[in-house]
Amino acid sequence: MSKGVTKQWPAVWPCSARPPHIPCVTQRAAIARAAIMNGPAITILRGLPVPQLAGLLMLMLGVALTEGVGILALVPMLALLGQAASALPSWAEPFARLVDLPMLLVFFVALVAGRAALQFALSLAQQRAQLKLIDRWRHEVFAALVRANWRTLSAMRRSDHVSLIVTSIDRLGYGFSNLLQIIAMAVTLGAIWIVALWLAPALAAVAVVGGLIVIAGFIPLKRKAHRLGVALGQRYAAVQGSLDESLRAMRLIKSHGREAAAIATMQGGMTELRSAQIAFHKAASRSRALLHVGAAILLATIIALASARDVPTSVLLPLIVLFGRSVPLLDALQQGTQQWAHSAPALAEAQAVLDTARAGAEPPVGDALPVVPRQSIALDNATIDHDGRHRPAVDAITLTLPVATTTALVGPSGAGKSTLADLFGGLLEPDGGDLVVDGKRLRGEGTVHWRRSVAYVHQEPVLFPASIRENMLWAEPDASDPQIETALRDAAAGFVFDLPSGVDTFVGDAGCQLSGGERQRIALARALLRDPALLILDEATSALDAASEAAIADAIGRMKGVRTVLIVAHRGMLTDLADRIVHMRDGRIEHVENRRKVVA
């Protein structure tokens, strides 16, 4: 339905008389109810356990109640001071007879102390709830990302996730704290207004109506704050993305002399972020100024009315105190509402990533042992068809890797070699056809389980900023020292034992304290430590010099007849080792070159 039609809706349409296509009053109420129940405030509050939420509400009520009673106690106190005692309201007279001033003062101090204790407990409980919420969202988003399948992950932007997990979820926590403040302030304001209505109904009614008008005035401001919040989230993601990309591309930036451009891009992002922050601050400050002017007008009206109606001082003074307390509360309520509207889009951001990641979730496989194939690993008529591409990356390929043989995939760039390797490795599930291990067709859980039997070595090995030993143990936490040593020697990485700190040598950020060839041999050793049933080398030597390539080729050569190896490479020393070379083009197999006899 168009916006124009929506605007023509009358406020109330009885269900019996409604024109077709226009929701009647009951339906509109249901729509509004659904919007509130599915809105960010309720969604976020639902995340809290009921006892915790109830505890917070009780504390809020306690604070509000003590505030109201404290102000109310001013009435007999003023009377006992001799101020306008004759005009003491009837409800206060018994108190004035029962208590004397010292007793009332002690009660007042005890009340304020009790209120301070309640506020202390409330502030602690709020902080705990906020931190718990932040932890929960961070955990859920990260866990959902880690559990998502590779295809889903490769369609998402990594830096957006960093921005979401680090910055937006923090904003969400801050917004949640604002939401609790809003509730607390609304409860306190309610208590104050009830007391005021009791003291002087007519005057307080003017104040309450004025206050409600002010609250109604928050609505458009809230919408604006929401828009600014969305913009701020995007700016944060842009700055974080540009920072992440620039830091990763530092070598490229330096070698291409693009330092000034990198700084300018970052600066541009920061400027946009800054203007989004200033725009929000401006909107918040403007509405605060308007609130203060409105409050002054309201106070003047109340005093003028009080003087016209001859209200006694013992009532007027507490009323002014009540009103004076309402103004900062309204101010804080308005600021809190704007802050909340500003932070709430972070929830939609987090929810969107959660939904996408969960839609692409892989089935859990528990503690099942790796599969050990005895005969073959095969693809039967397997196809991968990426969205938005003219042709499949892998087009109905059938290929068998007999156990303990070495197969090389060659072909021009974009032929589909890596995609085929990812299918064999169980990283991608075919859109059509099957992965078949020892005659068993694997799907879902079976494919994820199969991945435990596979190890990859990529062109750019990922090494963590830790020692060589820690990098090895990351793959196989229970590996013993002799197992680590064997894997390193099998991967032609014996150089490690000549380093002064041996396996305890720190490799630097992303392994930058090692040469490319050394990094790659450690990555190979780490893969071998898993004793994989299928070892995939995807362009593993294409960035290395001849000596490093020869060292790796030597290590792979020693695995011949023992381990099943799949090599993705352009022609070179590794392909020379293959029992079979599979030539690919445009997602299909062009022909297979048998170098040695392979039993399929």
Ligand X SMILES: Nc1ncnc2c1ncn2[C@@H]1O[C@H](COP(=O)(O)OP(=O)(O)OP(=O)(O)O)[C@@H](O)[C@H]1O
- Residue 419 binding ligand X, by CB under 6 A: yes
Residue that has been written with the tokens 């004035």 in this structure? 96
Return the number of the residue (255 or 413) whose C-beta is nearest ligand X: 413
* Residues 75/315, Cβ–Cβ less than 8 Å: yes
The CA distances from residue 356 to 137, 148, 344, 498, in Å, are 15, 9, 19, 48
Q: How many CA atoms lie within 13 A of 543 on its CB side?
A: 16
Residue 353 Cβ vs ligand X, minimum distance, rounded to whole Å? 18
Q: What's the sign of the alpha-carbon dihedral 555, 557, 558, 562?
A: positive
- Residue 393 binding ligand X, by CB under 6 A: yes
Candidates 229, 416, 425, 430: give the one binding ligand X (CB under 6 A). Answer: 416
Residue 393 Cβ vs ligand X, minimum distance, rounded to whole Å? 3
Candidates 145, 415, 540, 569: give the one binding ligand X (CB under 6 A). Answer: 415
For residues 318 and 327, give the distance between their C-alpha atoms in angstroms, rounded to a whole number: 14
Strand-pairing partners, residue 377, are 401, 437
Q: What would the 3-class secondary structure string for 301-362 be? A: HHHHHHHHHCCCHHHHHHHHHHHHHHHHHHHHHHHHHHHHHHHCHHHHHHHHHHHHHHHCEC
Return the number of the residue (344 or 415) whose C-beta is nearest ligand X: 415
Candidates 161, 235, 417, 449: give the one binding ligand X (CB under 6 A). Answer: 417
Return the number of the residue (147 or 386) whose C-beta is nearest ligand X: 386
Return the number of the residue (18 or 386) whose C-beta is nearest ligand X: 386
Stretch of 85-93, 410-418, 427-435, 500-508 lying at the interface with ligand X (CB under 6 A)? 410-418
* Residues 535/455, Cβ–Cβ less than 8 Å: yes
Strand-pairing partners, residue 533, are none
Q: Which residues are within 8 A (CB) of 480 and not within 5 positions of it... i.e. 6 or more apart?
A: none
Candidates 334, 418, 520, 575: give the one binding ligand X (CB under 6 A). Answer: 418
Candidates 389, 441, 571, 596: give the one binding ligand X (CB under 6 A). Answer: 389
Residue 408 Cβ vs ligand X, minimum distance, rounded to whole Å? 13
Burial 517-554 (b: 16+ CB within 10 A, else e): bbbbbbbbbbbbbbbbbbbbbbbbbeebeeebbbbbbe
Crossing angle of the two packed helices 201-248 and 169-199, in degrees rounded to 10: 170
Residue in 431, 417, 428, 406 with CA at minimum distance from that of residue 593: 406
Residue 426 Cβ vs ligand X, minimum distance, rounded to whole Å? 16
Return the number of the residue (10 or 388) whose C-beta is nearest ligand X: 388
Return the number of the residue (322 or 569) whose C-beta is nearest ligand X: 569
DSSP string, 405-472: -EEEEE-STTSSHHHHHHHHTTSS--SEEEEEETTEEE-THHHHHHGGGEEEEESS----SSBHHHHH
Residue that has been written with the tokens 């692409």 in this structure? 360
Residues 151-190 that bind ligand X (CB under 6 A): 154
Q: Is 343 left (phi over 0), alpha (psi -120 to 50) or beta?
A: alpha
Stretch of 185-193, 194-202, 263-271, 409-417 lying at the interface with ligand X (CB under 6 A)? 409-417
Residue 549 Cβ vs ligand X, minimum distance, rounded to whole Å? 17
Total binding residues toward ligand X, as defined by CB under 6 A: 12
Return the number of the residue (67 or 422) whose C-beta is nearest ligand X: 422
Return the number of the residue (389 or 558) whose C-beta is nearest ligand X: 389
Candidates 2, 16, 38, 413: give the one binding ligand X (CB under 6 A). Answer: 413
Stretch of 166-174, 267-275, 406-414, 498-506 lying at the interface with ligand X (CB under 6 A)? 406-414
Residue 540 Cβ vs ligand X, minimum distance, rounded to whole Å? 12
Residue 394 Cβ vs ligand X, minimum distance, rounded to whole Å? 7
The CA distances from residue 382 to 142, 154, 379, 600, in Å, are 31, 20, 6, 18
Stretch of 306-314, 386-394, 437-445, 588-596 lying at the interface with ligand X (CB under 6 A)? 386-394
Residue 14 Cβ vs ligand X, minimum distance, rounded to whole Å? 54
Return the number of the residue (358 or 386) whose C-beta is nearest ligand X: 386
The CA distances from residue 363 to 146, 149, 360, 373, 428, in Å, are 12, 9, 10, 22, 13
φ, ψ dihedrals at 329, nearest 5°: -65, -45
Stretch of 82-90, 114-122, 412-420, 423-431 lying at the interface with ligand X (CB under 6 A)? 412-420
**How many C-beta neighbours within 10 Å does residue 21 have?**
7
- Which residue type sits at 57? L
- Residue 386 binding ligand X, by CB under 6 A: yes
Residue in 460, 595, 484, 478 with CA at minimum distance from that of residue 541: 460
Return the number of the residue (341 or 569) whose C-beta is nearest ligand X: 569
Return the number of the residue (156 or 299) whose C-beta is nearest ligand X: 156
Residues 2-21 that bind ligand X (CB under 6 A): none
- Residue 414 binding ligand X, by CB under 6 A: yes
Residue 575 Cβ vs ligand X, minimum distance, rounded to whole Å? 13
Residues 127-156 that bind ligand X (CB under 6 A): 154
Stretch of 369-377, 408-416, 475-483, 484-492 lying at the interface with ligand X (CB under 6 A)? 408-416
Stretch of 104-112, 416-424, 468-476, 478-486 lying at the interface with ligand X (CB under 6 A)? 416-424
What is the contact surface with ligand X in residues (CB under 6 A)?
A: 154, 386, 389, 393, 411, 413-419
